[in-house]
């Protein structure tokens, strides 16, 4: 299935953290470019990531009424986590966070 999606951030703090990466050191600017490319791909096809099992959804996300979790693999072991919601008009990819592979494994209890 291929459906275009609109990108939204979970909150303003996450949005600010994302744009702050663009002004950081070389590795932060590189991560900013990787995430930006992921956003472009998700906007083209909201289902381009890997859907995670519902049992892996962390409790903190469930408290936010997140009902599905998608993972987008970024270079250098980074992961972008997002959820897909829909309105009658469009699909929205809600960006939850990006984290290193180690943090990702801890969060999803691998």
CB-based contact 93:46 (threshold 8 Å): yes
Which is nearest to 47 in space by CA: 7, 9, 4? 4
- Give the integer Cα–Cα distance in Å for 12 and 43: 19
Regions in the chain scoring below 50 on pLDDT: none
pTM across the whole model? 0.86
Query: How do residues 65-97 score in pLDDT, each as one tens digit?
Result: 999 999 999 999 999 999 998 765 678 899 999
| DSSP state letter for 51 | E
What is the pairing mode between strands 91-99 and 79-86? antiparallel
- Give the integer Cα–Cα distance in Å for 14 and 30: 17
Domains delineated in the chain: 5-107 (3.30.2310.20)
């Amino acid at each position: 299935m291929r459906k275009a999606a609109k990108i939204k951030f979970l909150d303003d703090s996450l949005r600010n953290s994302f744009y702050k990466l663009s002004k950081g050191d070389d590795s932060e600017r590189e991560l900013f470019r990787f995430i930006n490319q992921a956003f472009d791909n998700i906007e083209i096809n909201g289902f381009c990531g890997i859907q995670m099992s519902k049992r892996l959804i962390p409790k903190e996300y469930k408290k936010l009424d997140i009902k599905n979790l998608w993972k987008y693999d970024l270079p250098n072991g980074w992961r972008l986590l997002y959820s897909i919601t829909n309105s009658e008009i469009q699909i929205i990819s809600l960006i939850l966070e990006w984290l290193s592979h180690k943090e990702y494994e801890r969060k999803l209890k691998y």
